[in-house]
Amino acid sequence: MEIITAAAGNLVTGVFSNMFQKIRRNFSYVCRYARMVSGFEKKVETLKDKRDGVLLDVDAAEKIGENIYPVVNTWLAKADKMIDSELKEVKSLKDEAKNKCFIGLCPNFKARYQLSKKAEEDAAAVDELLQQGAFDKVSYRDVPQPIVVVPPKDFEDFDSRKLMFNNIMEALKDPNLNIIGVYGMPGVGKTTLVKEVVRQVKEDKFFDSVVMAVATHIPDVQKIQDEIADMLGLKFEEQSISGRASRLHQRLKKEKKILVVLDDIWAKLDLMEVGIPLGDEDQGCTILLTSRDLNVLLKDMDAKKNFPIGVLEHEEAWQFFKKIIGDGVESSDLLPIATEVAKKCGGLPIAIRTLSTFLRNEPLFVREDALRQLSKPSSSNFQGVPATVYSTIEWSYDRLQSEDHKQIFLLCSLMGHNASLGLLLLFAMGLGLFHGVSTIKETRDKLLTVVRQLKASCLLLDGNTNMQIDMHDLISDVALSIASKGNPVFVLRRKHDLSDWPDDETMKECGKISYIALIGELKNLEILGIASSDIEMLPEELGQLTKLKRLDLCSCSKLKRIPPEGHSSVQSNSSLAELKALSCLTALEIHISNAKIIPKDFSFEKLQRYIIFIGEASQWDWKWGWVREYSRTLNLNLQTSISFLNNGVKVLLNKAENLYIDEVNGVEILLHESEFGNYFKQLRNLHIQNGEMVQYILKDGDAVQKIEFLQLESLTLKGLPDLISFCSKKEGSTSISPQEIALFKQQILLPKLEKLKLSSVSIERIWVPQAFCSTQNLTSLIIEGCANIKHVLSDTMPEYLQQLRCLEISECKCIQEIISTDKMIQETLKNRALIRFPRLNFLKLKGLQKLIGFCHEDYTVEFPALTILEIENCPEFKGFTHNSIRKNVPSHGAFFNNQVAFSNLKKITISHLRNAKRIWDGQLHTNSFSMLKELNVKECDVLLNIFSPFLLGALQRLEKLKVTNCASLEEVFQLQVQGLDIEETNVVHSQLREVNLVRLPKLKHVWTKHRKGNISFENLQYVFILECGSLKTLFPFSIAKDLHQLERLSINRCGLEQIVSKSVEDSDEREICFAFNQLSFLRLWCLPNLTCFYPGMHRTTWSALKQLKISGCGRIKIFGHEESEIPHPLFVIEKVIPQLEEVSFSRNDISLISDGKYEANLFCNIKLLRISGYSDESAVFPISFLRRFYNLESLELGSCNFKELASFESNACEDKDTIVTIPNIKNLKLDVIKNIRHFWKQDSSFDHFCASLVRLEVWKCDSFINFGLDLSFFENLTTLDVWKCKEMSALITSSKARSLVCLVTMRIRECEMMREVIVSEEDDTPYEIVFSELKRLELHCLQSLTSFCSGSYTLRFPSLEQVTLSQCPRMKNFCQGELTTPKLHKVQLTETDFRGRWAGDLNATIEQLNTEGAEKSIYF
């Protein structure tokens, strides 16, 4: 009890004690409130001072671009709240505490308590803020990021850049590449492309950090270090370059993966001096360089992989130019000028951007002035070309390493595109540009060195051949501007006005002008070139040019003799003795018509370079350009044996690198072994052709163990029908062994042979296995027209063909297989299971009538590098591998099986194969055809389908498919096999973009129906179907629903009933939507059975449709009104018509639209209209319908029976307002207007319609006689095309012909009754007819034509450049009167006859063709 009492007492004591303390504390708040508030206010003032100090630090930091620590900003926010809101609340309580209670007699204890309590709590909070605000730093320097985000206006995603961009991205991911280079000429866009690469790298987070610095032409190492350090947030304390480099090196190595971009490298930059880690241990650092000089990247910077950035392709450049200057340029008169200005930019993006921006919205005269400036460059004419473009090229010029480089660069700018290196050498020597060289060889070596360095600097480009160089237009213009500063004559071009030619005083300053007046006076002349001239005889003074080193007489086809010294031209008309006096001659280019005129004692020993043709020239002889890659070329049109050549020519044979031997008559053995010992030692190319009796090239002798062609790289044997072997059999040998029937024996050694071409030779076998090992460098083997050849390769030979890249075999009727397995091979060699061609990238087999297969099925064949395979017109071909060469053994039926591997094949063409029922077997070699992008199949008559369901996954990269004339083909894509659900195991996302199916009479399905959604052709863009009579539907529903990328669809002359077949799962109550929102072109042509687009409930959208061409689809409702009750029209007029630019309307369509009430602008965008279906002979032209087509430019009338175009609807003729509102068209085409006889009547209202006509085509108008009486609209006509107008006897009368003042092209074809083009009128008074603008005239298949004009008029064609005359058998002359054609120099017998015929003038040429009976060339 006592314990309880004691515990209770303690408890009561404790409770009262706590209560007392609490009361005491609360009472103290009331008593000490003034002191508490004063203390709080003082602390707030301290906080305010602290805050203001922090704000000053923050402001100073922000001014220098530093970032404020987040904790500082948070503290400032809290301090502001304390100073503002909390202080106000305390002051409010302070005012309240001053008030008294009980009529002012008692203090307000409650308010004082609250005030004191609040002041104490806030004072503690202020103390905490003051403690937190003791910042050492309020800010930090952010790590700068390289400015690589390219604004949209700077980076353009050109197609030509995409591949290079992707390649650079791949290279950056290669751990074995630590230095990568990008090079190209100034202004080509290297930096922009690299910045885009960096942007993509950062977006992909492939590197942890990216830094970038610009090196410039004089690299400042300290500046480069600073740029990189700034981006890394690194501050250098060190002052020396080496100390900073060490610090930067340490910092860079802390990054796991870092990309360092160094832009605009001009010369070697020591990366270690900069501090960039480089070495095997520094795999995390990748360096990307840009330069205008490949040599800098390769040699100075040791870049492991380099990517060239070229100029834009013409179409890309134009699209870029047009994008900036505005699309309207194409539809305006500014187009020709704009096109020329764009071309002058040379494909340089910087030039295109600046010029197009400068010229945007400028009038025509400004653009013409810009074109003038660009065409006649000078230092003062480059305001239109930005300083950035001009200065970069000029800067490159100024920094060229020597005066030699500068002079050659300027000289190249004068020579135009694809300039000849040989001609450049002549100019360089003639102008004395090189010093310290004395021979032509030394000068050539020096020139090639300089050219190579200019190419590396991107100031010169490769030409079309190895012996040509090129230069971009913009660089050429800048070069000409630079040159013009010191010599205006240097930059005059052929088409410029000579008014710019300098005056006499200026001419005196031109120090280097070559002018040959008297050839005999040029005693010091070293180079004389009279190439491609009509000169017939060189002057006798030639012998006085004793210092002449080079003489060029190539392509002087009329040169008949070179008169000898001391003799008159009468005494000697065919001698070369004059050349004997030219003792310094080391280079000669000449055609000698007959070897017998070469003096016996004449020596060619001193010649170091020559192109000499001896004999009668044929057309192929005179292609001089490509032979210049050889130092010494000799062409012999012998008509005899080499043995009969004199010693001078034999010297040429001994030194020749490039030898042609042509027309060897009466010779069985071309060369004996004793002669061979002296010839062919330096031969790189040997071409022998047209030897009807030649059996052997060389005669074998007992003393000859081996015959070596140690330098021979290329060998061609052509037109040798009796050739047995390259080397004859030994004397006394009677038996014929397999070796002797082969072209090459074991003793023939060709260690460097790369190209072998055999054409029309009679050999049966090329090699025996023992001889083949000497041709291990063979890269190209072409065999054509060799009727007797049976064996191409044995199964052991491919191991020696490791370098083979091209194999073409065509028109060889005895070849049964490419890899032989005949009895002789089987007996002497072991069977090889694997045949591999590791580098072969092109294989073509064509016209091999007995070819069964490539090899026997016992072999597996691998083509890891093959990209193109063509097998055409091989009717017996059973498959790539076959089981027997006997015809009666059945084949497997599949073209390819798992015994042949094509891991990289991209394009296949197969045609005219009679035995292939299937292209692919059910099982293929691993990864075969996985890269295939294009497949062309033609005239394979037993082929049943193209793709089985097993193959769809393997071929999903296929992009283009074309199948033509396959008589039995029933399916293209077989998506199902009966009884087997293949779709469960195949998920296919096809890349197919283009499908062309032409003339497949039994085709039932392009895609067989399938239910699953795991086979998609969503990338399809283009579909073209023609003449597939059995095809009822085109797309299954499952395919059609995903064709969102389809752009063009053309279906022509098919049995199509529905475009999309009905889905098996579709309910008739559910409406299906087909969205073709990319389709811009739709053609439905001659589809008489087409009844609907889709048989179920559906709607379609065609938001991008621009061109709609429909004709001969009578059973389908094409158009309908939006509120029409007609079920499922193909198009709703209100939705589709306003967006169209081209459309076809039938008579019924026009009636439907004419009856409806539509807005006036319904047809405002239509530019081309085709009208058809007016088959009634009483039909009249619906001209009033055209009122709504405000912007109509082209009108086509097809398959109509209008008798004349002057007859309109009755009310239209009377309504003059109707005629006025009809648009003026520019193009008119009449196609199959059977009853029309005249174009229209005089004073017809149709005149207004055609007032601006520029193009007129009249096709297959059988009754058409002439163009009528009033042809005033002809004044604007530029193109006139007449085809298959049976009744037309003449095109136009002589008086109306005079109105064709703007005509540029006249084409008349297959008008069987036409006797003359221009017919005389009754008043036959002669006068002049001038076709001032006519450039092209084509007269084809005019069986009755006797002349262009039979009247005695004067015909003038000042602009005529091209006349094509074919199948006009009765044409005896062009005209009877005077004729002038100053620009015409040939008459072409076909469009591809570029050489043509010419007898001095047009009349004489036609008369000559008629006289000499050229029917085989012209008439047949």
Can you give the pTM of this predicted structure? 0.66
Ordered DSSP codes for 95-116: HHHHSEETTTTEE-HHHHHHHH
pLDDT of res. 1034: 93
Is 493 within 8 Å of 479 (Cβ atoms)?
A: no
> What is the arithmetic mean of pLDDT over 223-238?
83
How far is the C-alpha of 1158 from the C-alpha of 1134, rounded, in Å? 8
How far is the C-alpha of 1365 from the C-alpha of 186, rounded, in Å? 49
How far is the C-alpha of 221 from the C-alpha of 249, rounded, in Å? 14
Is 471 within 8 Å of 412 (Cβ atoms)?
A: yes
CA dist 646 → 605, 636, 641, 739 (Å): 13, 13, 11, 35
Structural tokens at position 470: 């090129």
280 Cβ partners below 8 Å, 6+ apart?
A: none
Give the three-state DSSP class for 848: coil
> What is the arithmetic mean of pLDDT over 941-961?
82
> What is the arithmetic mean of pLDDT over 795-807?
87
Whether the CA torsion 329, 335, 338, 344 is positive or negative: it is positive
Most confident of 368-382, 496-510, 1113-1127: 1113-1127
Q: Higher-confidence residue: 965 or 422?
A: 965
Sorting pLDDT into bands at 50, 70 and 90, what band is 42? confident
Q: Which residues sit opposite 994 in a β-bridge? A: 960, 1022
Residue 809: pLDDT over 90: yes
**Which range (409-413, 517-521, 856-860) has the least confidence?**
517-521
pLDDT of res. 530: 72
> What is the arithmetic mean of pLDDT over 149-173?
71
Whether the CA torsion 46, 50, 52, 53 is positive or negative: it is positive
> What is the arithmetic mean of pLDDT over 1294-1317?
90
pLDDT of res. 157: 65
How far is the C-alpha of 159 from the C-alpha of 882, rounded, in Å? 43
Give the three-state DSSP class for 833: coil
Is 633 within 8 Å of 587 (Cβ atoms)?
A: no
Residue 1037: pLDDT over 50: yes
Give the three-state DSSP class for 529: strand
Q: Quick one: 479 exposed, middle or buried, by C-beta within 10 A (0-12, 13-18, 19+)? A: buried
Q: What is the pLDDT of residues 504-536, one digit of tens each?
A: 444 334 333 335 445 656 677 777 777 666 666
Q: Which residues sit opposite 286 in a β-bridge? A: 259
Residue 15: pLDDT over 60: no
CA atoms lying within 13 Å on the CB side of residue 1035: 24
> What is the arithmetic mean of pLDDT over 1310-1337?
87
Residue 1143: pLDDT over 90: yes
Q: Higher-confidence residue: 101 or 1032?
A: 1032
Q: Quick one: 1206 exposed, middle or buried, by C-beta within 10 A (0-12, 13-18, 19+)? A: buried
Reduced 3-state DSSP string for 305-364? EEEECCCCCHHHHHHHHHHHHCHHHHHCCCHHHHHHHHHHCCCCHHHHHHHHHHHCCCCH
Alpha-helical regions (H) of 1142-1289: 1147-1155, 1210-1214, 1216-1221, 1246-1249
DSSP-assigned letter for residue 188: S
Q: What is the pLDDT of residues 891-918, one digit of tens each?
A: 556 788 888 888 889 999 999 888 778 8
pLDDT of res. 384: 43
pLDDT of res. 848: 92
Sorting pLDDT into bands at 50, 70 and 90, what band is 830? very low
Q: What is the pLDDT of residues 1176-1220, one digit of tens each?
A: 877 777 877 887 888 899 999 988 888 777 555 554 444 555 555
From first CA to last CA, the distance across the chain in angstroms is 146
Give the three-state DSSP class for 156: coil
How far is the C-alpha of 997 from the C-alpha of 1052, rounded, in Å? 10
Nearest CA among 892, 900, 935, 943 for reference residue 919: 943
How far is the C-alpha of 346 from the C-alpha of 741, rounded, in Å? 57
- For residue 1286, report the phi and psi dihedrals to the nearest 5 degrees: -65, -40
Place of tokens 């081996």: 706
**Which range (116-130, 369-383, 1260-1274, 1311-1325) has the least confidence?**
369-383
How far is the C-alpha of 126 from the C-alpha of 32, rounded, in Å? 19
